[in-house]
Amino acid sequence: MSTEPFIVAYPFIGDEVGGSHISAIKLITALDPAKIRALIVLHQPDGVLAGYLREKGISYVAAPSDHVLTPRHRATGNNGPSSALDYVRCFPKLVRFLRQHGVSIVHTNDGQMHATWAVPTRVAGARLLWHHRGDPTARGVNVLAPLFANQIVTVSRFSRPSRPIIAVDNKITVLHSPFDHPAALPNRDACRMALVRELGLDDNVHFVGYFGSLNERKRPMLFVEIVAAYLKRYPGTPLHGLLFGKPEPGGPRLDLAVDETARKLGISSSIHRMGFRSPVAPFMCAVDALLVPAVNEPFGRTLIEAMLLGTPVIATDHGGNPEAITSGTNGYLVRPEDPEAFIEPLRRLLSNPDEWHRLSKSAREQALEHYGVKAHVNGITEIYEKMVRPTQVR
Burial class (CB in 10 A: 0-12, 13-18, 19+), 122: middle
- How high is the pLDDT of residue 87? 78
3-state secondary structure of 336: coil
- Please give the residue that has the higher pLDDT: either 393 or 76: 76
**pLDDT digits 0-9 by tens, 352-374:** 999 999 999 999 999 999 898 89
pLDDT grade, residue 73 (50/70/90)?
very low
Residue 15 half-sphere exposure, CB side, CA atoms within 13 Å? 22
With 50 as the cut, is the pLDDT of residue 66 above it? yes
The alpha carbon of 279 is separated from its chain's Cα centroid by a whole number of angstroms, namely 15
Among 54-58, 181-185, 268-272, the least confident range? 181-185
d(CA 268, CA 80): 36
Residue 363 CB neighbour total at 10 angstroms: 26
**What letter does residue 249 receive in the DSSP assignment?**
T
**pLDDT digits 0-9 by tens, 82-100:** 456 777 889 999 999 999 9
**What letter does residue 217 receive in the DSSP assignment?**
G
d(CA 316, CA 155): 18
Residue among 250, 302, 299 nearest 281 (CA): 302
With 90 as the cut, is the pLDDT of residue 71 above it? no
Assign residue 337 a region: left if phi > 0, alpha if psi is -120 to 50, beta otherwise? left
Beta bridge partners of 208: 241, 289
Residue 240 CB neighbour total at 10 angstroms: 22
d(CA 241, CA 210): 8
Beta pairing, strands 151-154 & 332-334: unpaired
Backbone angles phi, psi at 340, to 5 degrees: -65, -30
For 297-314, the three-class secondary structure string (H helix, E strand, C coil) is CCCCHHHHHHHHHCCCEE
d(CA 49, CA 56): 11
Burial class (CB in 10 A: 0-12, 13-18, 19+), 223: buried
Q: What is the mean pLDDT of residues 11-27?
A: 90
Calculate the alpha carbon distances from 208 to 15, 225, 342, 389, 394 in Å: 28, 13, 11, 49, 57
d(CA 383, CA 173): 9
- How high is the pLDDT of residue 81? 44
Q: Could you tell me the domains of the chain?
A: 6-178+372-393 (3.40.50.2000), 188-370 (3.40.50.2000)
**pTM score:** 0.80
Say if CB 76 and CB 250 are below 8 A apart. Answer: yes
Residue among 335, 311, 333 nearest 322 (CA): 333
Residue 56 CB neighbour total at 10 angstroms: 9
- How high is the pLDDT of residue 231? 98
